[in-house]
A = this chain, B = another copy of it.
């Protein structure tokens, strides 16, 4: 086992539930868990605007149990929790504009359902380990860079407010009830199996699709800094905290290998997808109130605690993503 690698022996035979399991990160995690010999249940609501896609589990569908249900249902999730060792709690509404158009749905999924899940764990399965997918979005517009976990939580949209609540519940239940919960504040995650139909997961999905289709995509602004986590790295971070005792009750940033200006991301993508075209445009005025400027994370705390570090540089991650969507784009349209 090299430094930073997860202890693979921990996972054989483990009963693992993944909410949002047919989605982008959930299905990549599921593939890795199957490889590690875990007994995996994937829960997904298959809401068309979200990330669930049956093709995401092509090749592992027989090696996992798939349970189609919605985390808002008050009874099914508590039932499924009862025999689990680890819960990767990835299901959520993640589209920022959707959270403004329909704040109630975002609230039901990202807050009410999370509380229901935690109460179910507390009552029926208090020894479960819960890893919650939080988001950089809770920080809002950075007051300093890189953003560490002590940065104020000042979200600029309904989604950010609600995800902050969902995370806070997890940490509170760890503190008050002694449960094992941990939150990872994910940055822009990208890679195979992400939604590319629209920008609901990240703008990078739309770019990737356009690059593969050789249609032009737009870069809004271009100077903004962001960091990007290739999904295999994100998966290792999720696995890495789950049996790390020092992670209990804490929230950690997950960042990328380095910050990039959006114009540079577009350039790298175009280099990896010959024929791709893009245009740099002014940032749209109507999106200004929820624009956050530059963002990149300090994930020093996670690295220190678990030995994790991102292994896939952006160029390499884009190359692998382009290769995946060249072969499979029709499954994602």
Binding site for B on A (CB under 8 A): 100, 103-104, 107, 111-112, 115-116, 119, 150, 152-153, 155-158, 161-162, 164-165, 168-169, 172, 175-176, 289-290
In chain B, what residue has the closest Cβ to A176? B289
Report 18 cross-chain contacts, Cβ distance below 8 Å, ordered by A residue. Answer: A100-B176, A103-B115, A103-B119, A104-B115, A111-B165, A112-B112, A115-B158, A150-B152, A152-B153, A157-B172, A157-B176, A158-B169, A158-B172, A162-B165, A164-B164, A164-B165, A165-B165, A175-B289
**Which among B112, B150, B168, B289 is the interface contact of A161 at CB below 8 angstroms?**
B168
Residues of B within 8 A of A175 (CB): 156, 289
Residues of B within 8 A of A150 (CB): 152
Residues of B within 8 A of A289 (CB): 175-176
Residues of B within 8 A of A116 (CB): 104
Number of this chain's copies in the complex: 2
Q: How distant is A281 from chain B, measured CB to nearest CB, in Å?
A: 22
Residues of B within 8 A of A290 (CB): 176
Q: A107-B112, A176-B290 are in contact. List 20 more A-B contacts (CB 8 A).
A: A100-B176, A103-B119, A104-B112, A104-B115, A104-B116, A107-B115, A111-B165, A112-B112, A115-B158, A150-B152, A152-B152, A152-B153, A153-B153, A155-B168, A156-B175, A158-B169, A161-B165, A164-B164, A164-B168, A175-B289
In chain B, what residue has the closest Cβ to A114? B107
Residues of B within 8 A of A107 (CB): 111-112, 115
Residues of B within 8 A of A164 (CB): 164-165, 168
Q: By the criterion CB–CB under 8 Å, are B157 and A161 in contact?
A: no
In chain B, what residue has the closest Cβ to A155? B168
Q: How distant is A105 from chain B, measured CB to nearest CB, in Å?
A: 11
A267 to B57, CA, bound (A): 68
In chain B, what residue has the closest Cβ to A116? B104
In chain B, what residue has the closest Cβ to A158? B172
A167 to B107, CA, bound (A): 15
A112 to B162, CA, bound (A): 11
Q: How distant is A178 from chain B, measured CB to nearest CB, in Å?
A: 9
In chain B, what residue has the closest Cβ to A167? B161
Residues of B within 8 A of A104 (CB): 112, 115-116, 119
Q: How distant is A305 from chain B, measured CB to nearest CB, in Å?
A: 20
Q: By the criterion CB–CB under 8 Å, are B156 and A172 in contact?
A: yes
In chain B, what residue has the closest Cβ to A74? B104
A150 to B153, CA, bound (A): 11
Residues of B within 8 A of A115 (CB): 103-104, 107, 158
Q: How distant is A241 from chain B, measured CB to nearest CB, in Å?
A: 20
Leading 5 A-B pairs by shortest Cβ distance: A161-B168, A176-B289, A165-B165, A103-B115, A161-B165
